[in-house]
């Protein structure tokens, strides 16, 4: 598989096979992704590889927090508090595609809520990756970490694996710090499901559209 094919074939996978990912595969992915660029070669990303009993414990912590209905403080604001109409429409359309693929009606709040809860189980993927930054770092390190994650996801496609980056897994950062016994100085940036795609699952059959360069690029000669 060439690079262009890997980029085009990457997608957010939300259903996985009951098939493990080896230590060697995960280590290779983490190593390949470390070739990503970063400002002044700071390589600011930190990663937790979570499986087995620890994954179950973390999932339970997430689901308990979600079920409580309480407001939890996040380490950073991912989405805007007020949406520009262009981005709001893309967000709404994205959700509509997901629920249509699963045949979940707009008024079926319980099924929509259950689907959202699946985020906190990393869609039952065998491996959950969590990404962190030292709180002493600045905004640029978020960009560096994003490039690391993208490189990892492209490498995963080339290895026959699937991923889903999940901002939802950073909604309860204190749960993550408590379960993993992490220092308070670490910011929780994002999570990522990793495993083998269930290619037959309806939720994996759709692809979200992409804007064309004519919509977002301006040329200056």
Q: Return the pLDDT at 70.
A: 87
Q: What is the mean pLDDT of each run of 10 residues along the chain (221 residues)?
A: 95 98 98 98 98 98 94 94 96 95 93 95 98 97 98 98 97 97 96 98 96 97 96
Q: Return the pLDDT at 106.
A: 87
Q: Return the pLDDT at 139.
A: 96
10 Å CB burial of residue 201 (0-12, 13-18, 19+) is middle
179 neighbors 57 (Cβ within 8 angstroms): yes
Q: Return the pLDDT at 105.
A: 93
CATH number of 3-79+120-206: 3.40.109.10
Sequence spans of domains, the chain: 3-79+120-206
Q: Is the pTM of this model over 0.85?
A: yes
């Amino acid at each position: 598989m060439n690079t262009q094919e890997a980029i085009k074939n990457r997608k957010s996978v939300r259903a996985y096979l009951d098939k493990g990912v080896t230590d060697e595969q995960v280590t290779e992915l983490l190593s390949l992704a470390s070739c990503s660029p970063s400002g002044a070669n700071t390589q600011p990303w930190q990663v937790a590889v979570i499986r087995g009993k620890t994954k179950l414990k973390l999932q339970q912590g997430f689901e308990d927090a979600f079920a409580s209905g309480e407001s939890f403080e996040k380490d950073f604001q991912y989405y805007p508090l007020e949406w520009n109409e262009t981005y709001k429409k893309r967000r709404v359309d994205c959700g509509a595609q997901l629920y249509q693929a699963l045949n979940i009606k707009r008024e079926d709040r319980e099924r929509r809520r259950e689907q959202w809860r699946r985020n906190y189980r990393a869609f039952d993927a065998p491996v959950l990756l969590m990404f962190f930054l030292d709180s002493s770092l600045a905004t640029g390190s978020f960009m560096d970490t994003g490039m690391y994650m993208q490189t990892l996801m492209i490498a995963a496609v080339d290895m026959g694996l699937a991923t889903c980056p999940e901002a939802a897994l950073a909604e309860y950062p204190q749960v993550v710090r408590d379960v993993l016994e992490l220092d308070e100085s670490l910011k929780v940036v994002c999570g990522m499901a990793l495993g083998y795609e269930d290619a037959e699952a309806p939720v994996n059959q759709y692809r979200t559209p992409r804007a064309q360069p004519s919509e977002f690029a301006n040329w200056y000669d």
